Amino acid sequence: MLELHFTDDQYPYSNITHIRRIARAIVLDENNNVLILKIKRNDMFGNYSYLETPGGGVDENETIECALKRELEEELGVTVTILKKLGIVTDFYNLLNRKNENHYFLVKTIGRTQIHHESFGDTFISKILSMSLDDVIVTYQTEKDIDIIKLVKQRELPMLLEAQKIISNIKQ
């Protein structure tokens, strides 16, 4: 299991006032493609479009695994089974005065439900894409290393590469 720590070197430092626990997933669909979110935003972070794994905040008195399953239903409209915990990434968003504790899982879809976006963050989701894991990795590798894109890429790419190793070991 990976444990990674990153700083925010893209935006000016300000005091960290809170910690957010986040559950995220590399989601394999029925065709073994990855379901990934296309995010479009124009806010304090800038005007950008990029890929991001689905997931979200862990509510008080909620386990990380329950939060993960809830978030995937809300954002993707899927139910899943957890295959493996990939790791934890600690990072910072200086503009939000926040430290993030991202818990990553490799999951497989087992059913479809209804997408029902619940949070402000969900408003940035412009599309749900189904791509091969290799194509997702190449997309991240060729993304710009600036601003919010860099912050997302530095936490996501190592977990995608870890998922790729696990999946290739399963196939052997």
Q: Give the CA count within 13 Å in the CB-facing half-sphere of 150.
A: 14
pLDDT of residue 76: 97
pLDDT tens digits in sequence order for the chain, 172 residues long: 999 999 999 999 989 999 999 999 999 999 999 999 999 999 999 999 999 999 999 999 999 999 999 999 999 999 999 999 999 999 999 999 999 999 999 999 999 998 887 777 778 899 999 999 999 999 999 999 999 999 999 999 999 999 999 998 876 5
Distance (Å, whole) CA 78 – CA 114: 8
- Give this prediction's pTM: 0.95
Residue 31 backbone phi and psi in degrees, to 5: -100, 10
Tell me the two tokens of residue 34: 């990855």
